[in-house]
Structure 1
Amino acid sequence: MDHDAVLALYDRQMRRDAPADGPGARVERVGGVVRQTAGDHGWNGVLWSGLDATTADAAITEQVRHFASRGCEFEWKLYGHDRPFDLADRLLAAGLVPEPAETLLVAPTDGVAAESAHGRADGRRDGPELPTGVEFHRVTDAAGVDLLARVHEEAFGTDSSRLRAQLLAQLTAGPDGLVAVVAMAGDVPVSSSRLELPPGRRDFAGLWGGGTVPRWRGRGLYRASVAHRARIAAERGYRYLQVDAMPSSRPILERLGFTALSTTTPYVHRPGAPGPH
């Protein structure tokens, strides 16, 4: 995989020319910034910027004002290769707060799907084996969203009300761009994950939200969910899988053939936070 070529393709398709990620969301280019405005329940933030030392501060101030006027929290998604080199310091000065950095990992979809089909002692080529009694279930309605949200809250320790509203809106608008999956141990949800399939002639499918409740970790559920989603993405014709990986999932993904393209750090501005100074 040509690192520079794939990174340039990712920047163009998934950032500079990004589609809106849900109903009611609007993506627009304003000067040197591409942003999404989605209201209370969607993701609001900056997807891409082409700035330099002379334009960065004014662009940051404009985004703070834009989202503050709507009472929205927003995220500036800063990548390790973005410019100017001190953009992180400028965001801090404008009142944005960094959250933990993640690694942007990418892999050819066919390669992950093929790799995931190996490793069964009995020779079957149906991917990593789920623990006995566990099955994947596709989320298609509000009841499934509630199960996924339960896993998300227990796995990550965060409130899932915004995620629940966003997924319901996406499923209502049309299921083609989203595959959400819950792993069920009988009638108990133990793991969940999502696959986002951007519309149009795009090459990247996104793996999001892979989480397992604490008592079920270490049994291969995350790897199995990657394999499951890789096969779906391959069937849909997406060339690459991309993940914003946390340190806990990065080693698993790298063993499946994922390569680091960059880093990404969310810089978040909340309503009422200090403005630029």
Structure 2
Amino acid sequence: MNLLSLMDENLAVHQSYLQALHPAMLVRRDPELLLVDCGLDCDTLNYVSLARLDAEEAPLRIENAIEHFRHVGRRFSWWLGPQDRPAELPELLEAAGLTNTETETAMAVDLRVLPALQLPEGLKIERVRSMSQLEDFARVLASLWMPPDEQLIAFYRLTAHELLKDDCPLRLYVGYWQREPVSTAELCLAGEGVGLYNVATLEAYRGRGFASALTLYPLLEGRASGHRFGVLQAAEDGLHIYQRLGFHALGIYREYQPPR
């Protein structure tokens, strides 16, 4: 099992599934590149990724992708993973004017080794199945930015019809403490693996074990659904949470963005 390939394919579903189903959004994928434009000015939801580029053609493909977003006037992020090609892709992106803004650790776990869940007192975790829950999810996630990212909230409203279907491969979760939404997580089911994304906790409620619970709960549901492996991209401040659950590092993902 190539866990990096599993991670890339899971990331592609996370990045493009909803956008591919919405008539006002754009997904272009070929064997060499994935480009996703959600129609909103949000670099959290507009992507270029899965580069498998020929070295000679790479500069032109990079410029064409950048020009798309320049033309429509929307921000985007270029995700560069351990299996992306050519090897000099970081230098080519920088030469095209993009800057490495974030670095995350690619991690995986065999879901069979996960510990049992012990919820922090007063925390209740619910899978998102209604518009009110979806609104709670979006607002907690948007609060990671200051001011809160209203484009992110708009995206979840636009894609609610698909997200709330039982067979949607993207499962969203909200953690409630004393009936207040305080934490989020997303589980993406694709192939033999599940991907964990959008783990967030309101600043005032951090340090109480909520993020750990919102990490473990969806992964256990993924295991119960018959999946074998869990994958994610971890920011530095979350590494200790995932290592305690049995995750191990596979490599590095980098995000590149144009100047604001």
The TM-score range, normalised by the shorter chain, is 0.7 to 0.9
Tell me, yes or no, if the aligned pair for 1:152 and 1:158 is still in contact at 8 Å: no
- Partner of residue 124 from structure 2, selected from 135, 143, 158: 135
Question: What secondary structure does 1:99 align onto?
Answer: strand
The TM-score, its normalising length taken from structure 1, stands at: 0.79
Q: Which runs of 5+ in 1 are unaligned?
A: 118-126
Question: Of the two, which has the highest radius of gyration?
Answer: 1
Matched residue, 1:251: 240
Q: Report how far residue 81 of structure 1 moved.
A: 4.3
Distance 1:147 1:15 in 2: 24
Whether 1:189 aligns to 2:181 is yes
Whether 1:78 aligns to 2:80 is yes
Distance 1:232 1:37 in 2: 30
Matched residue, 1:123: none
- Partner of residue 218 from structure 1, selected from 207, 228, 232: 207
Q: Calculate the aligned-residue CA RMSD, in Å.
A: 2.7
Q: 1:219 to 1:178 in 2, by over 3 A?
A: same
Whether 1:206 aligns to 2:195 is yes
Matched residue, 1:7: 4
Matched residue, 1:38: 38
Which stretch has the larger CA shift, 151-160 or 218-227? 151-160
Matched residue, 1:102: 104
Question: What secondary structure does 2:72 align onto?
Answer: coil
Matched residue, 1:55: 57
Q: Once the two structures are superposed, what CA deviation does each residue of 1:7-61 show, in whole Å capped at 9, x if it has no partner?
A: 23434x3368988320325443357323223322783222211124322211101
Which stretch has the larger CA shift, 181-190 or 30-39? 30-39
Q: Report how far residue 78 of structure 1 moved.
A: 0.7
Identity %: 26
The TM-score, its normalising length taken from structure 2, stands at: 0.83
Tell me, yes or no, if the aligned pair for 1:130 and 1:221 is still in contact at 8 Å: yes
Distance 2:173 2:192 in 1: 22
Q: Which amino acid aligns with 2:10?
A: M
Q: 1:36 to 1:136 in 2, by over 3 A?
A: same
Tell me, yes or no, if the aligned pair for 2:26 and 2:39 is still in contact at 8 Å: no
Matched residue, 2:135: 146
Q: Once the two structures are superposed, what CA deviation does each residue of 1:68-120 show, in whole Å capped at 9, x if it has no partner?
A: 333332221112443333311211221223221111111122322xx2x1xxx
Distance 1:155 1:263 in 2: 22
Tell me, yes or no, if the aligned pair for 2:143 and 2:149 is still in contact at 8 Å: no
Question: What secondary structure does 1:100 align onto?
Answer: strand
Q: Which amino acid aligns with 1:144?
A: Q
Whether 1:236 aligns to 2:238 is no
Tell me, yes or no, if the aligned pair for 1:156 and 1:211 is still in contact at 8 Å: no
Tell me, yes or no, if the aligned pair for 2:28 and 2:35 is still in contact at 8 Å: yes
Count matched residues.
251
Q: Which runs of 5+ in 2 are unaligned?
A: none
Distance 1:18 1:208 in 2: 8
- Partner of residue 257 from structure 2, selected from 240, 264, 268: 268
Q: Which amino acid aligns with 1:185?
A: W
Q: Once the two structures are superposed, what CA deviation does each residue of 1:204-249 show, in whole Å capped at 9, x if it has no partner?
A: 2221111222332222111111221012111222222111111111
Q: Which amino acid aligns with 2:72?
A: R
